[in-house]
Structure 1
Amino acid sequence: MLKHERYRLILSTLEEKNSVEVSELAKSLDVTEMTIRRDLKALEDEGLLVRVHGGAKKKDADYITELPYTQKQTINVDKKKHIAKLCAELIEDNDTIFISSGTTNDFIFDYLQAKNLNIITTSLTVFNRAKDFPNTEVILTGGRYRKKSGTFVGYFTNKLLSEIKVKKAFIGTNGVSGRKITTANEEEGHGHQIILDNAVERYILADSTKFGTEAFFTFYDVKNITAIITDENINPHTEDYYKEIVKILK
């Protein structure tokens, strides 16, 4: 068995069981305990697990708090532009799409070539980018405005989202930990759940720094989305783990 395959299976085992013994891994992977110890050290050095006496345990996700929108606009800009370009390439003429709030999503319009689009959004920033885009119909959901993220949330927002169907949904996230896709605000998360359930294709936008981090509210399971769109800096062992669950675009 190749090393990268062992790494993937070790991480998958920890995701399921939270901890595992060296002897158990050696038996299940049909290698020596010395090999497993080397594998565990390598994965710990990359910050993907924590070694303990006789085995290893799952690394706790880094819990993040929400930053102001204007501050997030200045972080990891190159990664966000890369992801936005990939999103734009997925959008085809005559598509009906949903674009959530998020500083990555704002860049999609810098690369968008498709025509005759119907765009639905909860984001005031996305609306302002989309409203002057040629041959495009735009719906801004309305609702209660949440200034910290520049998005509309609440009952009226969710009522509209529950009544529409879209071909593709592009949703930002604050963190991806195991199979959990998370956001900092539960009201935004409920809106994400609704529109993802009503989308044919479901895309999560997560730059490489978002993996192994976790925010307040879990709004979706990785196994139920079409693809995670990320950047080239994703840890290769993290990528191998997720590729067994979902398509990775980078």
Structure 2
Amino acid sequence: MLKNERQKIILDLCERDGIVTVKTIQATIHVSDMTIRRDLTEMDHEKKLIRIHGGAQSIAFNQEDSTVEKSSIETPKELSHFEKKMISTDEKKYIAKNAAQLINDERETIFLGPGTTIELMTEHITLEHVRIVTNSLPVFNLLKDKGKYDLYLVGGSYREHTGAFVGSVADEVIQKIGITKAFVGVNGIQDGWVSTFNVEEGKIQQLALDKASEKYLVADAHKFNHRDFYNFYNLKKIDGLFTDYTISKSVKEQYEQYTKIFN
């Protein structure tokens, strides 16, 4: 990963959470702590963030208790589609390959939600013919040229940040179709709930999961014990959650009380 890409992700994490530790950054972008500390020092000198012991804090977070009005502080920032693609790439490939093995019956209707891990699933669908429904433009683009799927793109209001179609039009379509298996990505998993950054995106994912006979989530291990803005589904209603090999034994045991964990 190039330095400017790495530092952009660090800055976005810092601005999103206010304070971020070296350990959290390392779990996200998988480079050495020495590299991260060097980046933090450089970014501190450039006044992009404030270097603190064990990590960094955003400029806005530092100003919160000063004369700056709280309303002027930047709100948490959603990582861009490109930035998400750069995070935990090996782990996402591992998850995608395992999850795609459940797409194994041509008589089924499969829903694939938005997300970089689900995009990688498209590389591992081995069936010659299967009906696939998606509200993700990137997923649709990856599948449309293969010419062997019964492929449906759900339209609606377009979210450029994730390439997803959301809103009332998209919701209405999802409510009218039958889904055999749904695969949905999440931004956070905490206390039996899964969350995402955007309410409308969470709503359509909730509807797709409700309509599906079998409900599956995909999430790399660093999403556990983290919450994003909007809780959209309860883990107890999920048939299985696909994650990667870096999940700790204790975290896996913690969440197996809610659903089956595949890693």
Q: TM-score range by the shorter chain?
A: 0.7 to 0.9
**Equivalent of 1:193, from 206, 215, 218?**
206
Match of 2:223 in 1: 210
Matched, 1:140 2:149: no
**Equivalent of 1:78, from 86, 90, 97?**
90
TM-score, normalization by structure 2: 0.69
Match of 2:253 in 1: 240
Amino acid at match of 2:254: Y
Q: RMSD of the TM alignment (CA)?
A: 1.4
Matched, 1:66 2:83: no
Change (3 A) 1:210 1:218: same
Match of 2:244 in 1: 231
Q: How much does 1:162 deviate?
A: 0.5
Q: How much does 1:242 deviate?
A: 1.4
Q: 2: distance between equivalents of 1:144 and 1:66?
A: 18
Please tell me whether the aligned partners of residues 204 and 227 of structure 1 are also in contact (alpha carbons under 8 angstroms). Answer: yes
Q: Secondary structure at the match of 2:213?
A: strand
Match of 2:177 in 1: 164
Please tell me whether the aligned partners of residues 65 and 215 of structure 1 are also in contact (alpha carbons under 8 angstroms). Answer: no
Identity of aligned residues (%): 38
Q: Secondary structure at the match of 2:92?
A: helix
Match of 1:96 in 2: 109
Q: How much does 1:132 deviate?
A: 2.1
Q: Secondary structure at the match of 1:104?
A: helix
Which structure is richer in relative contact order (CA contacts within 8 A, separation 6 or more)? 1
Please tell me whether the aligned partners of residues 228 and 248 of structure 1 are also in contact (alpha carbons under 8 angstroms). Answer: yes
Amino acid at match of 2:248: N
- What 5-or-longer segments of structure 2 have no aligned partner? 1-75
- What 5-or-longer segments of structure 1 have no aligned partner? 1-63
Q: Secondary structure at the match of 2:105?
A: coil
Match of 1:182 in 2: 195
Q: 2: distance between equivalents of 1:141 and 1:245?
A: 30
Q: How much does 1:110 deviate?
A: 1.5
TM-score, normalization by structure 1: 0.73
Q: Secondary structure at the match of 2:116?
A: coil
Matched, 1:128 2:145: no
Q: 2: distance between equivalents of 1:140 and 1:186?
A: 20
Alpha-carbon displacement from aligned partner over 1:163-204 (angstroms, at most 9, x marks no partner): 011110000000101101000000001101111000011001
Amino acid at match of 1:230: T
Matched, 1:110 2:123: yes
Flag the structure with higher strand content: 1
Q: 1: distance between equivalents of 2:256 and 2:230?
A: 24
Q: 2: distance between equivalents of 1:133 and 1:177?
A: 37
Paired residues, what number?
Answer: 188
Q: 2: distance between equivalents of 1:225 and 1:66?
A: 25
Q: How much does 1:88 deviate?
A: 1.1
Q: Secondary structure at the match of 1:129?
A: helix
Runs of 4+ that moved beyond 4 A: none
Q: 1: distance between equivalents of 2:171 and 2:90?
A: 32
Amino acid at match of 1:177: Q
Please tell me whether the aligned partners of residues 68 and 149 of structure 1 are also in contact (alpha carbons under 8 angstroms). Answer: yes
Amino acid at match of 2:78: E
Q: How much does 1:65 deviate?
A: 4.2
